Amino acid sequence: MTLVPDSPTPANTTAFHDLDRFVALPRLSGLSLSADGTRLVTSVATLNSKGTAYTSALWELDPSGRQPARRITRSAKGESGAAFLRSGDLLFTSARPDPDNAEEEPIPALWKLPAAGGEARVVHTRPGGVQSVLAAAEADAAVVVAEVLAGSTDESDDGERRKARKDAGVAAILHTGYPVRHWDADLGPSEPRYFLIEPGEPGKPGEAGKITLDDEPSVTLRNVTGGIGSALRNASPRLSPDGTFLLTGQTVPVGGGDQRSVLVRVDTATGERSVLLEHPDYDYDAGPISPDSSTAVVVVRHRTGPDTPPNVELGLLPAAGGSLTPLASGWDRWPAPAAWLPDGSALVVTADDDGAAPVFVIDVASGEVRQVTMDAAAYTDVVISPDGLAAYALRSSYEFPPEAVRIELATGTVAPLPAPSERPPLPGTLERVEAVGADGHAVKSYLVLPEGAGASAPAPLLLWIHGGPLGSWNAWTWRWSPWLLAAQGYAVLLPDPALSTGYGQKMIERGWGAWGDAPYTDLMAATDAVVARADIDESRTAAMGGSFGGYMANWVAGHTDRFNAIVTHASLWALDQFGPTTDASFYWEKEMTAEMALENSPHTHVGKISTPMLVIHGDKDYRVPIGEGLRLWYELLSKSQLPAGPDGETEHRFLYFPDENHWILKPQHAKIWYSVVEHFLARHLLGEKVDLPPELGI
């Protein structure tokens, strides 16, 4: 089965020429492989019938690549978080109504799709819902991550307290610690806990340690992390293959609103918790646990300071506790561990690397690193076949959205698996280009060129600045798709300046604590090199960025008038106020001193801004709070060189989303985002009038 666009493709156009077709492209995420290696499941998000939201469904892909992709779940609320039990039953979470309890208000429940076939059914519901599931690879064991109210004593008390809050319409949260918000969510009074899934009804437990679930109408959840407080927020737990323990990073407050992450082991039978690693200079996260459950990979993040840039390394730790042995410590990349080979001899990781994120294999005994995939693509969600010969992963690049592939680990050969949808044709081409920064360091970029660009028809140029700032333009993104702008005739430059990942520690050090310095001069060097080309029109350019990229767009606005327009999304404007108001102040307070923040703050240069700016911000953005956007907007109107006139009008624009977060996620809002950006760019770069969407109501 293949998802096809519901309208025929007009000649000479692509999905990137039509926002309705663009937002309707299916989006893959996540991969789960059954223990016997015969079944591979991914999640595919598609537009709902009204076009107002995405709904994800589970699809089965054939690991051998012979059979077409097959949709295996279907509901208005969608399904996610698939995890295979060793039996082949598939657990997932969904807020769809339970056919056996149609009266119940839908909240995310635990569902099971039996390996033997038949309908999916609910195996557990609870008032606070179920967030995610982890299944043991070598045992009949699984763990659920779910939230409980901080003061509740058991599941029934939790349900009563939730009902009391809801009935009284109380949303208040009394805090004693930090953080209080994350991304777009208010933290508390509920807190995450890990629950072991056990067979049987509450009070009627089934056979211990066995969760075939086949004859059981439901399962019980046993809380194995009682009394842990809020320490598991944002943790990524790992369940040992034998199901006997969990490893997880756990946050501990260290005073002054700061926190660090220690590594803990939780025994799933007893709930006994022990701290395996803690150090004032490092944060620890759990990586995958070896197939024999004896050894854990640990992600070691060096704690930063204004003069101490971040670094990420791997270590091996006896799962029972002991000393940490560095793994591949001389490798100048930041690895993300994915899985062990089944014989325990090597670890499969991904890492940003020169505009890609290949798959690598690290030999555990020698620490030797071998690059497996060689294409300019980014790999995620890597799982390993039971024979250890192949990996399956999602692969994307700036030329195609995520697709499922099979990778031969010995040769690096990559073959796409039959997919739910085809790769969308692109309205242009992609090139890798290189410039030299002010200090002589190489600055690499991707350059998207629209069809028809050439010396006789040079394309207007958009400089796109990525966020993070610790990141890289190396993978497909649905939120900033350069192809929509290429379809309108623009070239888009995607540079990786100082602070970008995948170029070694020196690239991070060059920009740490000095955002307005090397990151800015690198971006200008990349732009200079590209506008020198005959196929680019130097006289029609704009700079655009989101988050840190928006910070940099603001900095660009105050330091050069070379661009015709600037688009700044969810941007940091006044670094003196930003640090204490973002959702993770402890992170940003360690990035710069107050003096460095002031020195690098765009707001101090507002009087020099003479370029029209389009400010975009979502009110539910807790990462870069709306106060940044509001202050930027008011200061542009009152202090820039293009202030609001006596009629209140200005060349600047403010696109405000009252119900979006750091990202614009609703499909109809994404269309508004791209439409307003196109309108603004056409006005200032092309001198053309592009209509604004009628849904804006103006």
The residue among 467 and 497 lying less far from ligand LAAZK34X, judged by its C-beta, is 467
In 120-141, which positions are buried (b, 16+ CB within 10 angstroms) versus exposed (e)?
Answer: bebbbbbbbbbebbbbbbebbb
Q: How is 455-503 classified by DSSP, letter by letter?
A: TTBPEEEEEEE-SSSS--S-S--SSS-HHHHHTTT-EEEEEE-TT-SSS
The residue among 237 and 467 lying less far from ligand LAAZK34X, judged by its C-beta, is 467
Are the C-beta atoms of 609 and 563 separated by less than 8 Å? no
Residue from 409, 404, 402 nearest 393 by CA? 404
The residue among 487 and 575 lying less far from ligand LAAZK34X, judged by its C-beta, is 575
The residue among 289 and 523 lying less far from ligand LAAZK34X, judged by its C-beta, is 523
Is 656 one of the binding residues for ligand LAAZK34X (CB under 6 A)? no
> Cβ of 75: how many Cβ atoms within 10 Å?
15
For the CB of residue 570, give the shortest distance to ligand LAAZK34X in the complex, in Å.
8
User: How would you classify the pairing of strands 613-618 and 653-657?
Assistant: parallel
For the CB of residue 619, give the shortest distance to ligand LAAZK34X in the complex, in Å.
16
Total number of residues binding ligand LAAZK34X (CB under 6 A)? 9
The residue among 548 and 657 lying less far from ligand LAAZK34X, judged by its C-beta, is 548
**Which helix (H) or strand (E) element contains residue 668?**
helix 667-681
User: Which residue blocks in 582-666 are alpha helix, DSSP H?
Assistant: 585-589, 594-599, 626-639
For the CB of residue 583, give the shortest distance to ligand LAAZK34X in the complex, in Å.
8
- Residue 650 makes CB contacts below 8 A (sequence gap 6+) with 636, 637, 642, 643, 644
Binding mask 447-486 for ligand LAAZK34X (x = CB under 6 A): --------------------xxx-----------------
Question: What is the footprint of ligand LAAZK34X within residues 566-585 (CB under 6 A)?
Answer: 584
Residue from 20, 21, 28, 29 nearest 4 by CA? 21
User: How would you classify the pairing of strands 70-71 and 79-84?
Assistant: unpaired
C-alpha to C-alpha distance for 96 and 101, rounded to whole angstroms: 11
The residue among 603 and 623 lying less far from ligand LAAZK34X, judged by its C-beta, is 623
Are the C-beta atoms of 57 and 46 separated by less than 8 Å? yes
What are the two backbone dihedrals, phi and then psi, of residue 161, each rounded to the nearest 5 degrees?
A: -65, -40
For the CB of residue 449, give the shortest distance to ligand LAAZK34X in the complex, in Å.
26
The residue among 2 and 477 lying less far from ligand LAAZK34X, judged by its C-beta, is 477
Is 587 one of the binding residues for ligand LAAZK34X (CB under 6 A)? yes
Is 284 one of the binding residues for ligand LAAZK34X (CB under 6 A)? no
Are the C-beta atoms of 458 and 489 separated by less than 8 Å? no
In 241-255, which positions are buried (b, 16+ CB within 10 angstroms) versus exposed (e)?
Answer: bbbbbbbbbbbebee
- Residue 672 makes CB contacts below 8 A (sequence gap 6+) with 655, 693, 695, 696
Please give the structure tokens belonging to residue 209. 């340690």
Which residues is 405 bridged to in the sheet?
A: 393, 416
For the CB of residue 660, give the shortest distance to ligand LAAZK34X in the complex, in Å.
15
The residue among 236 and 294 lying less far from ligand LAAZK34X, judged by its C-beta, is 236
Question: What is the footprint of ligand LAAZK34X within residues 604-623 (CB under 6 A)?
Answer: 623
For the CB of residue 618, give the shortest distance to ligand LAAZK34X in the complex, in Å.
13
C-alpha to C-alpha distance for 292 and 310, rounded to whole angstroms: 32
Residue reference for tokens 């034998």: 242
For the CB of residue 252, give the shortest distance to ligand LAAZK34X in the complex, in Å.
17
Is 624 one of the binding residues for ligand LAAZK34X (CB under 6 A)? yes
Residue reference for tokens 């609910």: 122
Among 392, 490, 548, 657, binds ligand LAAZK34X (CB under 6 A): 548
For the CB of residue 605, give the shortest distance to ligand LAAZK34X in the complex, in Å.
19
For the CB of residue 584, give the shortest distance to ligand LAAZK34X in the complex, in Å.
4
For the CB of residue 479, give the shortest distance to ligand LAAZK34X in the complex, in Å.
11
User: How would you classify the pairing of strands 378-384 and 369-371?
Assistant: unpaired
Is 179 one of the binding residues for ligand LAAZK34X (CB under 6 A)? no
The residue among 231 and 624 lying less far from ligand LAAZK34X, judged by its C-beta, is 624
Among 547, 600, 611, 661, binds ligand LAAZK34X (CB under 6 A): 547
The residue among 400 and 588 lying less far from ligand LAAZK34X, judged by its C-beta, is 588
For the CB of residue 396, give the shortest distance to ligand LAAZK34X in the complex, in Å.
19
Is 690 one of the binding residues for ligand LAAZK34X (CB under 6 A)? no
For the CB of residue 377, give the shortest distance to ligand LAAZK34X in the complex, in Å.
22
Contacts with ligand LAAZK34X, residue ranges (CB under 6 A): 467-469, 547-548, 584, 587, 623-624
